[in-house]
Chain A
Amino acid sequence: MKAGSNLEKILTAGHFAFTGELGPPRGTSIEHVKEKAQHLIGHVDMVNITDNQTAMVRMSSWAASMIVKELGLEPNYQMVCRDRNRLAMQADILGAYAHGLRNILCLTGDHQQFGDHPNAKGVFDIDSMQLVSMVKKMRDEGKFLSGEEIHEPPKFFIGAAANPFADPFEWRIHRLAKKVEAGCDFIQTQCVYNMKKMREWIKMANDMGLTDRTYILAGITPMKSIGMAKYMQSKVPGIEVPDEIIKRLQGVDKKMVAEEGIKIACEQIEEFKELKGVAGIHLMAIEWEHKVPEIAERAKVLPRPVMD
């Protein structure tokens, strides 16, 4: 065991993992976090706590992670490179570990121009890949980035993101290889809609032996409406929504679009369960946390295994 988190135990035991996502509030309400978290307890193995996602100021990821942890749900502490330099990052990693957090997800982060402070200075002192390698160095070598010894180093289960659909496609697998080389233990992918491309990517990962060295969790976001599907297709960078998905949503009765979206998600989950190289699902039900139990139920991933 590298870190001994619930997710690590589930993955190493060979179970099909199922993780969720939770955005901290834009305020100080603990109730808000609790309300969102209660839908997830018992239905996911771990929940990602986003870090100022889309560059909007929110309760800090480690603080929200602590609240979630108290509720009995395992958090995945997300960290982006946009807001902190290497000193602050390492300090936060130490603090987060001291408070019992065991998973970390290393991201570059959305550009500040998207958010509510578009002219903030983006730090980007190091990039996500260097962050992965830094956390690994802290854990495995017990050293800071500078090379100085750490007294009781933090032991994190290190995650990273991968986007199989961004350009250039042929480079994506090499980028995954670089992340694995940097030392990530698990990968959560961008929302998958283009299954053909995903299969191709996973096959390459299998062929290169990358899936033996890291666990890949496929990202799933059920479509809530046709508008959302079209927005994702045209406006969200790095997400590829094939026309078939939109046609399929348009083909059903207006009231049933959300239902159809969940159906598509469940079909994807069914396929990933059988696909060699995919170790689990990362469900990003954006502002739809209360649907998670239903989706988990229908995707037949319940009950979640309890590890000791």
Chain B
Amino acid sequence: MAIYTHHLPAWKREEVEQIKDLADKYALVGLVDVYGIPARQFQQIRRNLRSNAVVKVARNTLVEHSMNELGGHFVDLNGKVSEHSALIFANGNPFKLFKSLEQTKTKRSAKAGEITPEDIVVPAGPTTFKPGPIVGELQQAGIPAAIDGGKVKIKETKTVVKAGEAINKKQADVLSKLGIKPMPVGLSLLAVCYEGDLYLPDVLSVDDEAYKAKITLAAQQAFNLAVNAAVPTACVGVTEAQIAKAVREARNLGVEASIYEKGVIELIISKAYRQANALKAI
């Protein structure tokens, strides 16, 4: 590699140096997929990211070259370079970067042959289409349609294309006419090199809902422990729950052992009545 470096023309040399400088300046170096982003939107995304991240489009050969010169784990990024990848530089938490990139994504219409990342569902109901060839087009795309009150109506909610499947030409045309935009547009992180580790999207994609559920579970566990172990806790609800538990235990014992005391006698009567009723029902 070193030999090849000497043969780089000045402008390429300069670009490699620029990339290496950015890699020095930022804690995080990653690759993003910029496929299908219209130029104007790309500029917009860059502007929005400016404070947090820098996106640099460079020839793949120069990217690879730079990573090789940087050495270490940066070399691992080369395996992720693709036809539509660009470099991204940022500081801080790679998980947060992933999340912020996901959040800035928008949707666009699908082109024939593209693979949808999610189920494409067309809901039942009226459309704005006037009767015409559109009915046939819808039906050919697998969407049951009919004329209703002078308009085209979709008869039932239908999953037209499943996640991971390719969208065919007929489907793409019809979906576009229906205004359905299944394709996400935005920067997709392909890989990140951060503090000497390589992070891939499957790791970087954290499920907020799962964490939320875990917090709820942890809080429930803490509550259960506090109540069950009768840990004195000056916390709203815990002491009340401890009292309630003790009362229930006393009541359960009273009913089970037929201890005739105020506070349980009604429950014992109730139990006897229910037993009699059950026997009567036979």
The reply to whether chain A is a binding partner of chain B is no
Interface residues of B, Cβ cutoff 8 Å to A: none
Interface residues of A, Cβ cutoff 8 Å to B: none
